[in-house]
């Protein structure tokens, strides 16, 4: 709607807080905004609306990832000095290091294995030429990995090409095209953690932290007999083979997830893991505050990570937050307004009222442990009444 005589004085308008389109999109999706009235220059708002449309089209996961990136891009040791968890982090500074030690990792009890489909012969793809800048980046990358003892020169009959992908923050990501090897690899049957099980375990907690594990593949050894299968060529004519898991192998994420789950199994009750993400959740207990319990949990987790040489990326970690992004959704405390509406909802007296009430309480499923079990009597009652009607 366009106004012929729009207001010209600030006093004629309702005072509203300033917000960005990115923040607006997130609040709109989370249900914090119920009604919208925009007063703006038509041409300018049209351009900004296109930006909003693009953000929404990217999906919830992309918005959550961008929000997390914006919030924690500037996180550093200096910015954490005011945090109540700073002392714990300093005590275990080698867990989120500035630079990961350049060395061959210790055997963590889990090695990556490549089982080929019977009858498979050689998996070979010729290396294609690349620009000089990328060739230098690849050579520098392998030289650093050679010094770390993670690769060695190879005489393998297998070979996969190497190429580069531009990183969003600049620089090159080195990638191997293991297409033929992956096609000939028997898929792993390792189970993947269920998202609902992880979020359900966090239902009663009030304070959260999240760790992003760093260079996880390079911390797990290859099975010795499978090392020749990892051979990769470079545009400069070298042939290398990996002693640790390289990027791009089929079943590598499953092996990494299995390794992390195995190493952190003793802290699973308060620090569940999902591939390279570890979520720490705590609540006040035994006379200790939620912050004290979170510190205790972080110390136990960091001690295990130090023992097994697992490393976290400080810039991507979250410490002591009331809510954190967990696998595409925000986990934290409930919205007091929505809880108040549920508490004040009148007792249902018919099928329609019961359905409305159960639909309203479904908001709590992410926050209440065993939510389905708690509402089962009401769901069963609804079925019985519907059958009689």
Strands 323-326 and 318-321: unpaired
Which residues lie below 8 Å from residue 241, measured CB to CB, with a gap of 6+?
Answer: 151, 152, 153, 154, 156, 227, 228, 230, 231, 232
Contact 140, 147 (CB under 8 A): no
Host H or E run for residue 230 = none
User: What is the per-residue pLDDT across 273-326, written as a single tens digit (0 to 9) for each?
Assistant: 999 999 999 999 999 999 999 999 999 999 999 999 999 999 889 999 888 878
Domains in the chain, please, with CATH? 132-188+223-242 (3.10.10.10), 336-388 (no CATH)
> Using one digit for the tens of pLDDT, what is the confidence trace for 45-89?
455 555 545 544 544 444 455 555 555 555 778 888 889 999 999
> What backbone phi and psi angles, to 5 degrees, belong to 111?
-120, 155
Contacts of 278 (CB under 8 A, 6+ apart): 210, 211, 213, 260, 264, 271, 272, 301, 312
End-to-end CA distance of the chain: 47
Per residue in 93-124, pLDDT (tens digit) is: 999 998 888 899 999 999 999 999 999 999 99
pLDDT tens sequence across 247-280: 999 999 999 999 999 999 999 999 999 999 999 9
How far apart (Å, rounded) are the C-alpha atoms in residues 12 and 7? 6
The pLDDT tens digits for 377-387 are 888 887 776 65
Question: What is the gyration radius of the CA atoms in the chain, in angstroms?
Answer: 26
Q: Give the distance between the most distant pair of CA atoms in the chain.
A: 80
Provide the token pair at 89: 């982090």
Per residue, what are the HEC states of 119-132?
CCCCCECCCCCCCH
Q: What is the pTM of this model?
A: 0.68
Beta strands in the chain (DSSP E): 151-153, 162-166, 172-176, 207-212, 232-233, 239-242, 273-274, 277-282, 318-321, 323-326, 329-332
């Amino acid at each position: 709607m366009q106004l012929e005589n729009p207001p010209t004085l600030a006093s004629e308008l309702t005072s509203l807080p300033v917000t960005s389109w990115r923040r607006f999109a997130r609040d709109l999706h989370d249900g914090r905004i119920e009604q919208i009235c925009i007063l703006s220059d038509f041409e300018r708002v049209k351009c900004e609306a296109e930006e909003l449309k693009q953000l929404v089209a990217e999906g919830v996961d992309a918005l959550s990832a961008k929000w997390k990136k914006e919030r924690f891009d500037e996180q550093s040791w200096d910015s954490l000095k005011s945090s109540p968890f700073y002392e714990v982090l300093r005590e275990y500074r080698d867990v989120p290091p500035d630079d990961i030690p350049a060395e061959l990792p210790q055997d963590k009890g889990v090695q990556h294995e490549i089982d080929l489909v019977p009858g498979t012969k050689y998996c070979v793809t010729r290396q294609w030429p690349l620009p000089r800048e990328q060739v230098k980046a690849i050579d520098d990358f392998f030289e650093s990995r050679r010094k770390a003892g993670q690769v060695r020169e190879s005489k393998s009959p297998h070979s996969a090409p190497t190429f580069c992908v531009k990183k969003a923050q600049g620089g090159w990501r080195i990638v191997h095209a293991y297409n033929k090897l992956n096609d000939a690899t028997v898929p792993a049957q390792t189970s993947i953690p269920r998202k609902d099980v992880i979020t359900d375990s966090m239902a009663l907690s009030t304070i959260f932290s999240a760790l992003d594990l760093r260079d996880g593949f390079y911390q797990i050894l290859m099975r010795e007999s499978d090392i020749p299968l990892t051979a990769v060529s470079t545009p400069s004519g070298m042939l290398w083979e990996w002693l640790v898991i390289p990027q791009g192998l089929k079943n590598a994420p499953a092996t990494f997830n299995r390794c992390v789950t195995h190493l952190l199994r003793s802290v699973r009750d308060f620090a569940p893991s999902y591939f390279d993400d570890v979520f720490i959740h705590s609540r006040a207990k035994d006379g200790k505050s939620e912050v004290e319990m979170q510190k205790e949990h972080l110390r136990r987790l960091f001690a295990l990570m130090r023992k097994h040489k697992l490393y976290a990326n400080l810039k991507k970690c979250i410490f002591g937050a009331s809510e954190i992004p967990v696998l595409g959704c925000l986990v934290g405390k409930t919205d007091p307004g929505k809880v108040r509406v549920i508490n004040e909802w009148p007792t249902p007296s018919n099928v329609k009222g019961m359905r409305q009430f159960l639909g309203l309480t479904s908001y709590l499923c992410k926050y209440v442990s065993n939510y389905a079990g708690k509402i089962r009597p009401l769901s069963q009652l609804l079925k019985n009444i519907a059958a009689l009607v």
